[in-house]
Amino acid sequence: MVITELELHNFRNYQSLNLELSKSINVIYGKNGYGKTNLLEAMFLCCIGKSFRAAKDPEMIRYGEEGFSVRTGIAENSCGSIRVNYTKPKSKSIVIDGVYVEKLRFLFGNLLGIVFSPESIRTVTDGPDLRRRFLNIYLCQLSRDYYFSLMMYNKFCEEKNKILIEKSRPDPIEFEVLNENIATYGAKIAFERRIFVESVNRIASGIYRFITDETEDLSVGYVPNIPSFLEEIRKSGSVNDAPAASSFTEKEKEAEIERIKGVFFSDLNSEKIVRREIEYGRSVIGSQKDDLDISFNGMNLRSFGSQGQKRSAAIALTLAVLEIMKNTTGRTPVLFLDDVLSELDDRRQRNIAELTKEYQTFYTCAGNENLRNLGADGTPVNYINVEKLR
């Protein structure tokens, strides 16, 4: 799939814009503050309906206006166009090939995209909420069932937290029903996350070694916040080891999810956990507290890695997800690289250019001379100067 056209109305700093795009390499360059990242944000909005910057919808409206519209034209894909409209205060609509879709989950999978920006490094360096967001953004694109499970899980957790705040001692039957639903959807989330992270670990480790010229090892493991499930994983060897998705039949997958549900439900109803939840007035275990263990050469990357190692690891994670998306769906995702390669030396630029040459790729940088190695193999490069777009 490739994005052939981008049309904007009152989005960020753009009043009106229509761009034709190359199916291979697009370099968006210009001075800071002219809207390079805004163009990537607009295209990615058509992938998941949300900003990769974690911005709220009203923040993407051009100053003084009441709403925005973003449209992408798409080729080599099951749909030919996606439009996202938003009007204050909370009116959002999604239009695929001229047809309005009622639920956000029906957008997922129509346009596959992955983005790397300077903020992506925070997935490695900052708290677990960003690592969970990383998992959710890409798992939702791969599976509408995952998105539905996540929405239902959050809904029942919110109901449970409301009861915990309002009542000093919740009704046992009401509590058990909520825990049953939380365990049902939480088990599905835990299963999908573990299988996904196993694939990320396997592919990212090879990419990281390629980027670093075979000098360092990277490992990524899933750390569920279900105490008994985590104990099982650790007893089996390491959080970095997990069965591959292909090793499960559909019946085996259902059985494993049911098993995780039983473990989770038991933990939720243990006296220790119930006491803690009543004390804190909220749920204290579950998918909302999951994390990833990211290490290099056996050491925690967040604590001991250099800035260069963290950047290389974050790039490896991005490119691993790119490959997983392609392998899982049989389609080629779009890659967005925001102000990243300009900070790398020639060798690493060449390595990353080699890894991404089969994808439609959007680069941003302050000056097009910073990306010296793009198009060296004869691939055409489309240069877009944002200073001339306004």
pLDDT digits (tens, 9 = 90+) for 64-86: 999 999 999 999 888 899 999 99
Residues 306 and 357 in one domain: no
Shared domain for 345 and 260, answered yes or no, is: no
Over residues 332-359, the pLDDT tens digits come to 999 999 887 666 667 777 777 777 878 8
Residue 240 falls within a domain, yes or no? yes
Give percent of the chain above pLDDT 90.
52
**Does 302 share its domain with 348?**
no
Of the residues 275, 310, 345, which one is the last residue of a structural domain? 310
Q: Is residue 344 part of a domain?
A: yes
pTM: 0.86
- The 8-class DSSP code of residue 62 comes to P
Classify residue 323: in a domain, yes or no: no
> What does the pLDDT read at residue 375?
63
Tell me how far the alpha carbon of residue 164 is from its chain's centroid: 31
Q: Which residues pair with 361 in a beta bridge?
A: 25, 335
Degrees to nearest 5, angle at CA 111 with 108 and 113: 95
Mention every residue, 6+ apart, whose C-beta is less than 8 A from residue 328.
142
Predicted local confidence at residue 310, as pLDDT:
86
- Rounded CA-CA distance 357/43 in Å is 20
What one-character DSSP code corresponds to residue 385?
E
Domain boundary among 250, 275, 310: 310
Domain for residue 325, yes or no? no
Dihedral pair phi/psi, residue 357, rounded to 5°: -65, -25
Tell me, yes or no, whether 353 and 258 share the same domain.
no
Full residue range of the structural domain in which residue 238 is found: 129-310
Structure tokens at 10: 């009152």
pLDDT (0 to 100) of residue 181: 96
Within a domain: residue 120?
A: no
Q: Provide, rounded to the nearest whole percent, the portion of the chain with pLDDT above 70.
A: 92
284 within a domain of the structure (yes/no): yes
Rounded to a whole number of angstroms, the CA Rg of the chain reads 22
Verify that 142 and 176 share a domain, yes or no: yes
For 223, phi then psi, to 5°, come to: -120, 90
Q: Are residues 59 and 203 in the same domain?
A: no
Asked if residue 265 and residue 155 are part of one domain, the reply reads yes
The rounded distance, in Å, linking the Cα atoms of 181 and 282 is: 16
Q: Check if the beta carbon of residue 340 is closer than 8 Å to that of residue 319.
A: no
* Over residues 382-387, mean pLDDT: 90
Q: Which amino acid is at 187?
A: A
User: pLDDT digit string (tens) for 85-126?
Assistant: 999 888 899 999 999 988 888 898 899 999 988 888 888 888
Does position 242 have pLDDT exceeding 90, yes or no?
no
pLDDT at 273: 92
Same domain for 105 and 14, yes or no, is yes
Q: Pick from 10, 125, 5, 110: which is nearest to 64 by CA? A: 10
Handedness of CA 335, 37, 370, 137 (dihedral sign): negative
**Number of independent structural domains in the chain:** 2
Residues 364 and 263 in one domain: no
CB-based contact 310:124 (threshold 8 Å): yes
Per-state percent for the chain, helix, strand, coil, to nearest 5: 50, 20, 30
Residues 209 and 292 in one domain: yes
CATH number, domain with residue 240? 1.20.1050.90
The chain-wide mean pLDDT, for the chain, equals: 88
- 59 within domain boundaries: yes
Which of 241, 276, 310 finishes a domain?
Answer: 310
Q: Is residue 143 part of a domain?
A: yes
Q: Which of 284, 288, 338, 333 is nearest to 311 (CA)?
A: 338
The C-alpha atoms of residue 331 and residue 181 are separated, in whole angstroms, by: 34
| Residues 91 and 175 occupy one common structural domain | no
Parallel, antiparallel or unpaired: strands 299-300 and 291-296: antiparallel
**Banded model confidence at residue 182, pLDDT cuts 50, 70, 90:** very high
Phi and psi at residue 110, to the nearest 5°: -75, -40
Task: Give the angle 328-363-303 at the CA atoms, nearest 5°.
Answer: 75
Distance separating alpha carbons of residues 75 and 64, to the nearest angstrom: 34
- The contacts of residue 158 (CB under 8 Å, 6+ apart) are none
Q: Which domain CATH number covers 92?
A: 3.40.50.300
> Do residue 103 and residue 165 come from a single domain?
no
Residue of 280, 272, 283 whose CA lies nearest to 175? 283
| CA–CA dist 320, 77 (Å, integer) | 22
